[in-house]
Structures are given as structure tokens and as C-alpha cells.
Amino acid sequence: MADHEARVVPVLRWEELPEGPVVVLLDQTRLPHEEIEFICTDVPALVGAIRSLTVRGAPLLGIAGAYGVALAATRGFDVEEAAGQLAGARPTAVNLAHGVQRVLDAYRRATAADGDMQRAAAAALAEARALHREDADASGRMAAAGAGLLRELLPGGGYRILTHCNTGRLVSGGEGTAFAVVHAVHRAGELRRLWVDETRPLLQGARLTAYEAARAGMAYTLLTDGAAGSLFAAGEVDAVLIGADRITADGSVANKVGSYPLAVLARYHHVPFIVVAPLTTVDQATEEGSAIEVEQRSGHEVTEVAPGMSVAPLGAQAYNPAFDVTPPELVTALVTEAGVVSPVTAAGLAELCSVSPAGTSRTGNGMMNA
């Protein structure tokens, strides 16, 4: 099935300008109505963009952090200080710290080798570009593995898939994570309907996933987060596909708040609940979900529909966690670029992480009944 996408604005790119290199971002806070680029000439600007969600999505945050270290190195800023600022910009998404550390390590190795700062900066940039390419490759592998899993679990096609938040090219060096799987079955003519949760309070589903689905020519329907239960009850959902911001050693999944209720609904209604994420999202140093630091965001995101436009009484308190955590027993399968693990267990996840991304594997004890 052919895509209907118009000109695609790069989500993130490195650009060499006469006055020096910059990191250029597609400002996701302006979508879907405006495709505006935001130019970061220094690390504080990039950190601000990360915190304001100008750039977002776990894999893309890793790429942004990687280029941020390279930006500091090439512009002659304090690289160690810049790395600390970048890694701490958002605490839950492990990819951010991973991307920062990977490029920082490359910079340190080059510096230790001969002390040539120009060569060290070039090494940092080369490592950031390598991470960018690898993420795009991982996206394609996840798409293929996830589409194969859907066909195994649900033979016959005609899938009605529910997704939450945004997991397409806006979060990745490629076509995304969960949305890349949706894109693969759409191209194969096997997607009947994409159900898009609006994803309160920042509406990443309504603003971003619907934007990507429309550009791809998919049949999609937007729904409020609270309407998902009635959709399951009506038998209108064949599978749930989400991404992840962090996966702990036991297989617990931190993702955009609202994901955990979907997992509970999926289990009750015997619907596969599938998580699609690159191996960089797996944090084996954190043993279980309860140890994840969940980012708490401003209450204004809940009490206001726009700056200064309140929908709640003056002074109303708001609970606004950016993420929730789904325990592994509610996850039917985890799809990565290295293959699929199901059921999701600590042992199965460890085995999966030991496989080179260049290979594929199926770990666990076979497919779990959803």
C-alpha cells in the first residue's frame, strides 16, 4: 500500500553553518498545525528543548543527547559539564543518558589517545552519527519483527490496533517503534483501523500520532483516553502496541501515563499487549519497575488547555506523572531489533540483550496466550 506522505521535515539533524555547527529540531510542540524548526547553537538551548518537549520520544532523546555532547565538543564548551546537563534533562527515558554516555566515552578515548581536541570533537560527532544510523536500522528491524509477531498471533490480517502516545518517526532515527510496526502492516494492506488515544494531558496522540497516521494515509480514529474501555468491551481492538521509555531488568515497562490501564484492559479482554522498543531502552542496572524515577511534570499541563486558559478552579492541585509502569506479567511480548521475548521475564530479557542486534531471536517459552 503506497504512502500518501508529502514532504518530510527531518525531525533532528546536524548542520554545519558558517558561524558553527548546530543541532536542528522539528519543534514538536507546534505540530500538527506548523512545521517549524528550532535551532540549538549550544547545550543549554538543547537541554531546554528536551525539557519543553520540543524534542521527545525515548530513542530520539538518545540521539539528541548524543549530538548535544558532539555540539559541546565541536564548539569548545565544557564537555563533561554539558554531558551532565543533558543526561539529567529528563530522568525516566534511559536512552537519553545512554546516548550521552556513549558519545562522551568516545570523546574521552580520543582525548586520552593524543590530546588533540579537534580530533576528539570529530570522534564525538562520528559516534553520534553512528548512533543515529543504528537507531534507524533498529526501527526497520522492529517493524519486521513486530509485523511477523502480529501475523503469528492473529493470522489473517485486518488488524484493529490501539496505540497510546506517539511512537513514529517523531521519536526515532527511522520510522519509530510501535508505529513502525503499524506502518509495516499498513503497507502490506493488513491494517483495518488504527485507534489513537488522545494521550492527555499533552495530547501526543491527537497532535502527533494522528498527524503521522494522516500523512501515511492510514485509516485511523482518535478517541479520548477514557473511551478505550468501551472500545475493548465492544470487541473492536485486536492488539495494543505501545513504545517504552525504560524497561527494567525484570521486564517492567515505563511508558507514557495511561499505558498501564491499557495493559489491564487488554489482559481482561484477552487482547495481546505488545511493547516495541530498541535495546537501548532496556536498563538492566535497574532491577524492577518500582525503582524507576517517574518524572513529575507541572500541574499547569492538566489545569490549563493553553497558557493562561484554565479549565480548573484557581489554585486547583494536579497530579501529573509523565509515565506509569506496567509489570511484565501484563506484557504479552517485547519486540526489539534483536527479536521478540515472550513471556517477558528477567531471564528471557537477559538472553535477548545478549544477542547482537545484527541477529534475531525468539526467547522465552513460546508465545503466551493473551
Catalytic site positions? 245
CA dihedral of 98, 285, 58, 277, whole degrees rounded to 10: 120
Burial class (CB in 10 A: 0-12, 13-18, 19+), 81: exposed
Distance from C-alpha of 185 to C-alpha of 199, rounded to nearest angstrom: 23
Q: Are 63 and 135 in contact (CB under 8 A)?
A: yes
Q: Are 22 and 41 in contact (CB under 8 A)?
A: yes
Exposure b/e, 110-143, CB count within 10 A at least 16 = b: bbeeeeeeeebbbbbbebbbebbebbbbbbebbb
The one-letter code for the residue type at 1 is M
Share of the chain residues as helix, strand and coil, in percent rounded to the nearest 5: 45, 20, 40
C-alpha cell at 27: 519543534
User: For the chain, how far is it from start to end, CA to CA, in angstroms?
Assistant: 29
Q: Radius of gyration of the chain from Cα atoms?
A: 20
The one-letter code for the residue type at 301 is E
Q: Whose grid coordinates read 486547583?
A: 316
Helix (H, G, I), strand (E, B) or coil at 24: strand
Burial class (CB in 10 A: 0-12, 13-18, 19+), 221: middle
